[in-house]
Amino acid sequence: MTLMLSRRFLIATGLAAVALPGAAFAMTADQARSLVDKLVADINTVISSGKSEAGMISDFEKILDRYSDVGAIARYALGPDARSANPDQMRRFTAAFRGYAARKYGRRFREFIGGKIEVRGTSPLPRGTAVQTMAILRGQSPFAVDFYVSDASGKVLFYNIIIEGIDMLLSERTEIGAMLDRRRGDINALISDLQSAS
């Protein structure tokens, strides 16, 4: 039990991290903002489309493919266990994680129906640029949604989202790690469960 708690603590604090690729530092703040401008435009189009939940989630999965470094996010979420996964497991885990993230965050963005997201500014990060946006919803106070953007993959892509102060990378790392612990470290079982998880 002590070992599991220590592992969870390290995962939650990022101290046992499988590091995201180091930033290439060639990207400019304007490039990061341009990516998020297009990303936000696509999100706003989806949330105003009137599509069914299934249709919107399908669109959000395409948005993830287009604008995010899904491979890096998936590796980070899997944590230290990514080192022991074979290439086929990582490929299948990444695909399962993509669908899981599209369903989970697609449903979160569905809450924005009737509202919009506005890009407000940028600030430097050790691993790229933070692009600050504001979610403006009907009947609610506006709140911050920040996208962390890097060109470490060779393309300008986002690798993290901070929604109302909640860090997607750390949250998913903790959640995926707990799921894997419940499956006694069986990555194949985790992949199977992620394919149907929301």
- Average pLDDT of the segment spanning 75-92: 95
List 131's β-bridge partners, or say none. 122, 147
Residues 6+ apart with CB under 8 A from 61: 98, 99, 102, 106
Sign of the four-CA dihedral 146, 165, 62, 178: positive
pLDDT at 16 over 50: no
At residue 168, the pLDDT reads: 94
Overall number of domains in the chain: 1
pLDDT at 24 over 70: no
pTM value?
0.83
Q: Which residue has the higher pLDDT, 11 or 78?
A: 78
At residue 25, the pLDDT reads: 55
How distant, in Å, are the alpha carbons of 63, 85, 113, 129, 141 from that of 108?
14, 30, 10, 23, 16
At residue 110, the pLDDT reads: 80
| pLDDT (tens digit per residue) in 89-146 | 999 999 999 999 999 888 888 878 888 899 999 999 998 999 999 999 888 899 999 9
Residue 134 corresponds to which amino acid? M
At residue 36, the pLDDT reads: 97
Whichever domain contains 179, its CATH number is: 3.10.450.710
Could you give the CA distance from residue 29 to residue 46 in angstroms, rounded to a whole number? 26
pLDDT at 85 over 90: yes
The answer to whether residues 194 and 186 touch, using CB atoms and an 8 Å cutoff, is no
At residue 79, the pLDDT reads: 94
The residue range of the domain holding 28 is 2-194
At residue 107, the pLDDT reads: 84
pLDDT at 52 over 50: yes
Q: Is residue 128 classed as helix, strand or coil in its secondary structure? A: strand
pLDDT at 22 over 60: no
Owner of token pair 């009137």: 50
Residues 6+ apart with CB under 8 A from 31: 151, 156
47-67 as b/e: b if 16+ CB within 10 A: beeeeeeeebbbbbbebbeeb
- Average pLDDT of the segment spanning 37-58: 91
